[in-house]
Amino acid sequence: METPQNAWDDRYRAGDTPWEKGEASPGLIDFLREGSIPNKGRVLIPGCGTGHDVRAWAEAGWEAVGLDIAPSAVKLAQERTPSGTRATYRLGDFLADEPFAKFDCIFEHTCFCAIDPSQRDAYVTATRKWLKPGGWYVAVNYLIPDTDGPPFGTTREELVKRFSPYFTLIRDFVPRSYPNRTGLERLFVWQLA
Ligand SMILES: C[S@@+](CC[C@H](N)C(=O)[O-])C[C@H]1O[C@@H](n2cnc3c(N)ncnc32)[C@H](O)[C@@H]1O
């Protein structure tokens, strides 16, 4: 039976990974340079792929944990992470698993748009479950109109409707992006109430 895990793993094994840009999200790099989240604790990156964003958080002084449902992604992420880096990886399902720890921050980048839209309620529940009270949810969301994903698009309106019952929106803006996503991403900084 084809499961989401098999489907994602097949894509890594086939090298069919158009989201793989060989570097961390440009908007994340700028955000980390700002250092606007003062406590550099533990950050979870769900749907971390080959780990570029995980390594960027680790380089910025955080203890960074990448989580991915695809065993091949986790293997590649581990292989690409130099020893001594404060970046580790776990195989798991962000939506279904019980948290193995609670985090100070979650960073989202192309996981929300990767899951089936019918799972978006479960995604919001998961962000609340994996965070400590007062934890940060930093998201680079992909605001495209596509309904035949992945990637599945979303809008600022949908995100505000889904997250604002539980999180305070600190700020949101158009970040620097990979060239083929310029103007299509929005960076949100939320704090769990
Ligand atoms: C479009 S890729 C993006 C990977 C990475 N964030 C990047 O930008 O390079 C989506 C990733 O989410 C993972 N994924 C999908 N559903 C997941 C889930 N429920 N829990 C954890 N990871 C998941 C996939 O295996 C895949 O690595």
- Ligand 1: list residues with CB < 6 Å: 4, 8, 19-20, 46-49, 67-70, 73, 93-95, 109-111, 114-115
CA of 94 to the centre of ligand 1 (A): 9
CA end-to-end span of the chain, whole Å?
A: 40
Cα 85 to Cα 61: distance, rounded to the nearest angstrom: 10
Q: Peptide bond preceding 175: is omega within 30 degrees of 0, i.e. cis?
A: no
Atom of ligand 1 nearest to the CA of 5: 25
pLDDT tens-digit series, residues 124-164 = 999 999 999 999 999 999 999 999 999 999 999 999 999 99
β-sheet bridge partners, residue 142: 185
Q: In residues, how long is the chain?
A: 193
Is residue 2 very low, low, confident or very high in pLDDT (cuts 50, 70, 90)? Answer: confident
For residue 75, is pLDDT > 90? yes
Helix residue spans in the chain (DSSP H): 4-14, 26-34, 52-59, 71-79, 120-130, 156-163
pLDDT digits (tens, 9 = 90+) for 12-63: 999 999 999 999 999 999 999 999 998 889 999 999 999 999 999 999 999 9
